[in-house]
Amino acid sequence: MAETKMRKFMNDPANVVKESLAGLAAAHPNLLRYDSAAQIVVRKDAPKQGKVALISGGGSGHEPLHGGFVGLGMLDAACPGEVFTSPVPDQMLAATKAVDGGAGVVHIVKNYTGDVMNFKMAAEDAADDGIKVSAIVIDDDVAVQDSLYTAGRRGVGATVLAEKIAGAAAESGADLTTVSDTVKRVNERARSFGVALSSCIPPAAGKPIFDLPEGEIELGIGIHGEPGRRRAQLGSAAEVVDVMVEAVMSDLKPSRGSQVLAFVNGMGGTPLIELYLLYAEVDRKLRAAGVEPVRNLIGDYITSLEMAGASLTVLHLDDDLLRLWDAPVHTPGLRWGA
């Protein structure tokens, strides 16, 4: 029988997002500040004159995305909405104004109907204020067919990689066109697929979004606790990874000998011991498929509250993307070289 009772550390379900952001700011005053009136997280030294700024945002519940990726070499600001709900245009506009250093602002938007609409309204307002905005939509989830019959592929794991890589480009002084093109290139060269072993409980709802009977797995899930494309009997980790790698690689189709970044992401309720076990399978299967995972990222980076599950993102690298991936980054959620 699935667990249906909500057990969460909180004071009031209505204040979970705000109180968590206050904690983020208290923990990392050297990196960022939290503007509670505008409901945005801003890099401490923003705006940096002459630097292209990057902002992203979306519903909360995906921590460390996006607030945990504000800092050196990644985002200049993040706009957190309510749990699993797109933020409002006022937040994106306030963030855009707070970080604009005169070189323009890139909006990294995950492809969800609400996010796209709200960011579009904000970009129009920012343009009215004379700020150059370039909005790039991330849609890397191969579980959703990109067709007239859906809202298009969802933006998932590639968002983290795009924020890191384009953030490094901006930090190195690249102009607005180059930084936007970098986001686009990461999106075009990355594919993802997610699976879940449980749902999750949004604090305001107090109940799981779905019940998964014992011994079953949801295949093709997104990051909002929603059910996947189909439900199947849970097989071994090797069998699950077969499905994930096949889904990603058959769509990405990198040439043999390509260098890739393999990102095994935890959905929030799966321990690292299982994520590394999955990575062993991923690494072996990618090599067997003729590509070389020269970089990897393993852990909880784009989560769905306490959902048990994992997603695989494969990014087809080139020299430029590899160099930008290796560049220094210092944020609450990701740090190396700085």
List residues binding other proteins (CB under 8 A): 59, 81-90, 112-114, 117-118, 121, 143-145, 148-151, 154, 202, 204-205, 207, 209-210, 222, 224-227, 229-230
28 in active site: no
Closest residue by Cα to residue 61 from 10, 107, 97, 95: 10
d(CA 87, CA 82): 7
CA distance 219 to 246: 13
Within its chain, how far is the Cα of 316 from the centroid? 17
User: Catalytic annotation on 316?
Assistant: no
Residue 54: alpha-carbon gap to chain centroid: 14
Check the CA dihedral 262-267-32-90 and report its sign: positive
Which of 62, 66, 107, 316 is catalytic? The answer is: 62
R_g of the chain, CA atoms, integer Å: 19
Q: Amino acid identity of 145?
A: Q
Task: State which residue, 223 or 329, has the beta carbon closest to other proteins.
Answer: 223
Cβ at position 10, least distance to other proteins in Å: 15
CB of 16 to other proteins, least distance (A): 12
Q: Which of 44, 43, 52 is nearest to 108 (CA)?
A: 52
Q: Would you say 125 or 242 has its CB closer to other proteins?
A: 125
Question: Which among 310, 311, 191 is positioned nearest to 254, based on CA atoms?
Answer: 191
What are the residues facing 75 on neighbouring strands? 70
In this complex, which beta carbon is closest to other proteins, that of residue 30 or of residue 147? 147
Catalytic site residue from 28, 66, 107, 224? 224
Q: Which residues pair with 79 in a beta bridge?
A: 57
Q: How far is the CB of 50 from other proteins (least distance, A)?
A: 32
Least Å distance between CB 21 and other proteins? 15
Residue numbers annotated as active site: 62, 224
